[in-house]
Structure 1
Amino acid sequence: MGIIVVGPRASAFLPSKMNKNGTANLTTSYAPVQGWTADTGSYPGSTVSSPDALVVQNTGASVKITVSATWSVGIGSTVVSLNITVNGGIVATIDSATASSGTTSTNWTGAVAQGDLIRMEAKAASAFQPSISAGFVQVV
């Protein structure tokens, strides 16, 4: 007769999301985009560490982090660059095409731990009043 050993069940990864709230002005240097609201309706348990970080709910070995920003510039055109950071370390970067407005997105897949802080950093190539008016950061 065989022996069956049953261990604790691995818990499922709990996705989280935060949505841009208000407008964030950009400079020519990378800085965390501020002004977010946790999307607890679609992603229960989501929390924002004010004013700029999505808090990971639990550990995941291979999760996908996505950031997206809708932006515009007051005069002329520019390139908007985004970073995804995990606990302050850059894990992904993207540059938009040169334009007067657009939506720029990127993602990264990797391991995260409970309590990790996910941020979107952004900058613009010009200082002609660029801003982000909408967007999101999610980990699924």
Structure 2
Amino acid sequence: MMKYILGIILIAVPGIYGYLGNTLIIPLYPMIAQIFFVVYWLWIGYIIGRLSKNQLQGFLFGNSLWIISLLLFIWQFMLTDNVDRNVHIAAIPQYYILSFAWLASKLSSIFFSINGTTIIIVAYVCMLFIFILGFRAGKK
């Protein structure tokens, strides 16, 4: 039970960073934060890959907050219009991917026209890709 609580805390760190970075305006250079979180998320994927006996359950556990956050983003920004959007719920998915926003903005500028929704979707894809790399390395 304790390892699951610790796991939830570890996979919540990007969201905690995003919340603190946004509300307290922590002055951390975006590129440095990006490097730290790429390494961190790769490590989280590796650890969860090593510790999970069932590959699918481990993968879903490691991405559980990612999935919830993505679903909240889709609900609030793609299925709800501006008038009905709940600003508190809409902030949660943005907090969760803030640590990958720098990388996503750089990649978005190469492949797409830059807008907030595109950057957020690319940030989610980057998080998933980096987690998968770490998870697969942990399984080997």
Tell me if TM exceeds 0.5: no
Higher helix proportion (structure 1 or 2): 2
TM-score, length of structure 2 as denominator length: 0.25
Q: Please report the TM-score for the alignment, with normalisation by the length of structure 1.
A: 0.25
Higher percent of residues as strand: 1
